[in-house]
Structure 1
Amino acid sequence: MTRVKRGVISKKHHNNILNLSKGFIGRRKNNFKIAKQAVIKSLLYSYFDRKLKKRNFRSFWISYLSNFLKIYNFKYNFFISCLNIFSLKLNRKSLFFISLDFYNFIKFFSILFFYYHYI
């Protein structure tokens, strides 16, 4: 049988996987075969959760704006339609941060509301 000389490379590969599995519980942290499965699963979870994070933040911004506008008897869908009519390209994140600055947001929206109804 021929000699295979790749022990250094496989050791490096194993160490990379075991370094990624630090903090796992039980044999998932120090047994290569099980750690490899756990690392693959954790990387999949992290990928999907990065996508889910974007979705959750968008829904949070929308619900915040909706509740904020409800205080002043405005509806969220009316607000968004006004933005579209005046072709203001503001995303929900920027609207959220504008609304945190209370006075400027109300001033901006009252001007928008005025133009929509009287012009």
Structure 2
Amino acid sequence: MPRAKGGFKTRHRRNRVLKEAEGYWGKRSKAYRSAQEAVDRAKKYAYRDRKARKRDFRGLWIIRINAAARLTGLSYSALMGGLKKAGVAIDRKSLAELAIQDPVAFTKVAATARESLAA
């Protein structure tokens, strides 16, 4: 009986990995074993960085909101505290977009926060 070398399933799996490794440098795109290691590592980084991207964007939004808030005479924490106290439920992404696209509207939002802090 001949030894089992792997048939369609094995070839199919290897070809899938090599297809995923297309564009990698040198042996990483040609040899199955190197390609498998490179693809596994790439998927691990992709998973990790999908989570990190969310943190990075939140940080960016906070920086933008803080910069815009300081132009209105409030700190970031005072602005957010005032908005919470006033019952304004607007997320940081929208607030940062407002600060960039429509500074007049952001100033009104900041005024609402300031009023609730004074009350």
| Identity score, percent | 27
Deviates more, 1:99-108 or 1:34-43: 99-108
Mapping of residues 1-119 of structure 1, within 5 Å: 1=1, 4=4, 6-100=6-100, 101-117=102-118, 119=119
Structure 2 regions of 5+ residues with no counterpart?
none
Aligned length: 118
> What's the Cα RMSD here?
1.7
Deviates more, 1:18-27 or 1:64-73: 64-73
Per chain length, whose mean CA-contact separation is higher, i.e. which structure has more relative contact order (CA < 8 Å, sep 6+)?
2
What runs of 5+ residues in structure 1 fail to find an aligned partner?
A: none
Query: Once the two structures are superposed, what CA deviation does each residue of 1:26-59 show, in whole Å capped at 9, x if it has no partner?
Result: 1000100110011000000001111111111100
TM-score (norm 2): 0.89
Shift of 1:5: 7.8
Partners of 1:83 and 1:111 lie apart in 2 by: 7
CA distance in 2: counterparts of 1:89 and 1:104, whole angstroms: 15
Partner letter of residue 42 of structure 2? S
Query: Which 4+ runs in 1 deviate beyond 3 A?
Result: 1-6
Letter in 1 for 2:112: I
Q: Higher mean Cα deviation, 40-49 or 84-93?
A: 84-93
Within 1, Cα distance between the matches of 2:89 and 2:112?
17
The 2-side partners of 1:113 and 1:71 are apart by 13
Distance 2:37 2:117 in 1: 58
What TM-score results when the alignment is normalised by the length of structure 1? 0.89
